[in-house]
Amino acid sequence: MRLFIAEKPSLGKGIAKYLPGSSSSGNGYVQCGQDVVTWCFGHIFEQVEPDYYLPDDVPLAKSGKKKWRFEDLPIFPEHWKLEAKDDAKAQIKVIRELLKKADLVVNAGDPDREGQLLVDEVLEELGWNGPTQRIWLAALDEQSVNKALSTLRDNREYRNLCQAARARSRADWLVGMNLSRAFSLQNSGGGVLSIGRVQTPTLALIVARDEKIENFRPKDYFVPRIHTGFWSSWELHEDFPGVDGEGYLTDRKAAEALTAKARAEGQAVVQEYESKEKQQSAPLGFSLAELQKVCSAKLGMSAQQVLDAAQALYETHKCATYPRTDCRYLPEEQFGEASRVLSGLARLGFGDLVKNADAARKSSIWNTGKVTAHHAIIPTGSMEGRPEGATAKVYEIIVRSYLAQFYPPYVYRATKAVLACAGETWKATANVPVSAGWKAVYGLSDEDGDEAQQPIPALQKGQTLPVQDADVQAKQTKPPARFTDGSLIEAMSNIHKFLEDEAAKAKLKETSGLGTEATRASILETLLGRGFVERKGKQLISTKAGRDLVKALPRELTDPVTTAKWEDALSLIAEGKLTLEQFEEAQRTVVARLIEAAKSSHLKVGETHSGGGKRGAAKAKKQGPTCAACKKAKTVVLRTKTGKDWLKCEACGAAFWPDKSGKACGTQWEARS
């Protein structure tokens, strides 16, 4: 018997649908001829609580758990121990019995490092030593599943990927469990402080942006212009009186003197003139971060909502490919499927756009050399059950992005005129659309924010133009914008842009980010759930508790460079260039040093509470079940502004969504669902 173990029921049933033989459903599995498909519910094993590793003589607190004491830190497991989640024990029993009958196992975890570990750890915990293969599913439509079934690989080829995920899990435990305890013990404000390898520097990013905005002082500056049938602006030069160190002309009288001088001159001479057609190719496909950025801007969706929608399009509707990707390219080998996908999209209601698409056009998105573990998010050309609401809107955005690849470039005329007048240089530019090209897919009204520009007539070098008017535009510098879900995800993906250290910036530019495509949305939701950040409309704003925490912690914990380098190390483990043991030893050294730093710290961070937005300024309705994270206390049932219940532990701050039955699902908000 061949046994497929999928990451979740929807994935398992998606595979079972295309296996040979008639199918029949059992308790927690599907029989398909000689094959059986069963599944997990995300991670069904989890790291044990720190109490497991502490000596038996540690006194108990009122909660029945062992007291938090500095003398017990750091907690470094000699042998790591996993335990079955309470709500997964029945399914674990199903998998154990099926393994007894199996001749071959197929790991059907999601196609990423976490999906690899998720099934591998089940096999390890249940003692499976038989032959194991791996199925890598980029999409769940019939053609993609059949192709994946015909290209099964030996699961041992993915051992390094599994080790990278295990290293991530252990590093998060070492940092979270040890440092949360250490700094909470030093917190005179009474709050239990949540420290995270990724969440803490992400919080620091938001705090830094908020403080920059609040400390910002607008600066008045001036732009002199002349009109010679079109407006040209004065070309600033730093040695001009009135130009400050930041390159702004801040002296209004100096600006007015320039325009008065130009007006008196009465004419301008064309020094340069250039007008030529330029082309702009369609944007590359969507990585998850880019999709979250676009949907945040266009639809006002949170990063988690976009991920949930994209996941539903992949798993439930099977109309889009795997969403947790950091890649914006497609393999050239897949180009041959374009006609099939376009035909499918025509049948799904995009016929008017498909008829103008050229299936033979090969844009720059097709580049096998730039494809990572997963390719860009694209439509599959088929669909099971039509998506609705926001999910349908996300699908349309994905479809239009794909269709744009088969349209010609956007063509515009770029014109530049440089004039000499009154001993100064004046410049005018204009980009005028010639042919909509791929922008027609989005409609001509969607020009990515381009404004209508003044026409510049054809000119000759040396031509004299009369100065018809001159004025001074008064402007003001603006602070940076508050983070939104989309812009924060982009910042986490491109953390090098926020660094001042040029060496670190150069190193991290191509390789690192905060978190991964799969985790960034949940990290943001964790910060919201723990009351360190709140939503105001689309904006993300740090709370007092969040700011106090960032200010109180050592820079090493809040510096994004630290975590970005760790992500680099995890990639090296996946590539077989670094061992799990080497990485873990380095983490233990860092944690031990930071615990010593905590001993001399003095924090005063109060109890944190959930802020506004998705989880709202909710009020407790009633007491919920015991917290599945800390096992210390009952949760409270809170309600979002949209009327959806959720659970929060007042002891450790963990947040949970209830399952369909209304019981606690036992899965922390930041964990995989």
Residues with a known catalytic role: 322
DSSP string covering 318-347, please?
A: --B--S------B-GGGGGGHHHHHHHHII
3-state secondary structure of 222: strand
Nearest in space to 652 (alpha carbons), one of 205, 45, 44, 176: 176
- Cα–Cα distances (Å) from 39 to 104, 110, 628, in that order, read 15, 12, 22
Instruction: Round to whole Å and give the CA distance between 31 and 13.
Output: 10
Instruction: Round to whole Å and give the CA distance between 612 and 617.
Output: 5
Query: In which element (H, E) is residue 250 found?
Result: none
Q: Treating both helix axes as pointing N-terminal to C-terminal, what angle do 485-493 and 520-529 enclose, rounded to 10 degrees?
A: 130
Instruction: Round to whole Å and give the CA distance between 307 and 196.
Output: 21
Instruction: Round to whole Å and give the CA distance between 307 and 310.
Output: 5
Where on the phi/psi map is residue 82: left (φ > 0), alpha (ψ -120 to 50), or beta? Answer: beta
Nearest in space to 344 (alpha carbons), one of 389, 382, 384, 388: 382
Which strands make up the sheet holding 634-639, listed edge to edge? Answer: 622-626, 634-639, 645-649, 655-656
Q: Which residues pair with 107 in a beta bridge?
A: 5, 134
Nearest in space to 300 (alpha carbons), one of 528, 479, 539: 539
Computed on alpha carbons and rounded to an integer, the radius of gyration of the chain in Å comes to 29
- Is the CB of residue 125 less than 8 Å from the CB of residue 83? no
Where on the phi/psi map is residue 231: left (φ > 0), alpha (ψ -120 to 50), or beta? Answer: beta
- Is the CB of residue 631 less than 8 Å from the CB of residue 51? no
What sign results for the dihedral spanned by CA atoms 260, 265, 271, 272?
Answer: positive
28's tokens = 């927690």
- Kindly tell me the burial class for residue 621, based on how many C-beta atoms sit within 10 Å of its own C-beta (0-12, 13-18, 19 or more): exposed
Strands (E), 477-524: 483-484
430's tokens = 């204009």
Nearest in space to 333 (alpha carbons), one of 355, 362, 290: 362
